[in-house]
Amino acid sequence: MTEEDIVGLWQYPSDLYNNIVTIDLKNDGTFVQTITHFGKGEPQTHTGTWKLEDNNPKLTVLKPDAMDSRKPWVLEDASWLIVEHDGDGTFRIFGAVNDRDPDSCNAMRKIR
C-alpha cells in the first residue's frame, strides 16, 4: 500500500450523530475534513496533514466530544485501518466519527 493508493475523496455517515463526514486526502500530504451536521447550521471544516504509517492512515481529525456530543467537536488522532475487501485485492479505509468504539466503525466509501 502506498500513499498514492489512498489519495482521494472518502465519505462516511455517522448515524449516531446524524452527520456526513468527508475527508479529502490530497497527494501533497494534506487533507480537508468536512462535517455536515444535519439540522445544525453550516458544515464544519478542518485541514491538516496525513501520512501512511504501518499501512494505516495517520491524521488528526475533528470528532464529537466523548462526554457530550452536543459540544463542539474536538481534535483527536484518527484510529483508522486499511482493510482488504472480499479478498480480491481491493481495499477500504475502516473507521468512524467515534472510532474510539470499534463496534461503531465501518467501511468508508471512496467518492473519487
Whether residue 7 is predicted with pLDDT greater than 90 in this model: the reply is yes
> Could you write out the DSSP letters of every residue in 85-104?
ETTTTEEEEEE-TTTTSGGG
Kindly report the pTM of this predicted structure.
0.83
9-46 residue pLDDT tens: 999 877 666 788 899 999 999 999 998 877 777 888 99
Supply the range of the domain harboring residue 20.
3-110
Number of domains composing the chain: 1
Work out the average pLDDT over 87-99: 73
Question: What is the Cα–Cα distance from 107 to 98, expressed in whole angstroms?
Answer: 13
37-84 residue pLDDT tens: 777 778 889 999 999 988 888 999 988 877 776 777 888 888 888 876
Question: What is the Cα–Cα distance from 68 to 87, expressed in whole angstroms?
Answer: 39
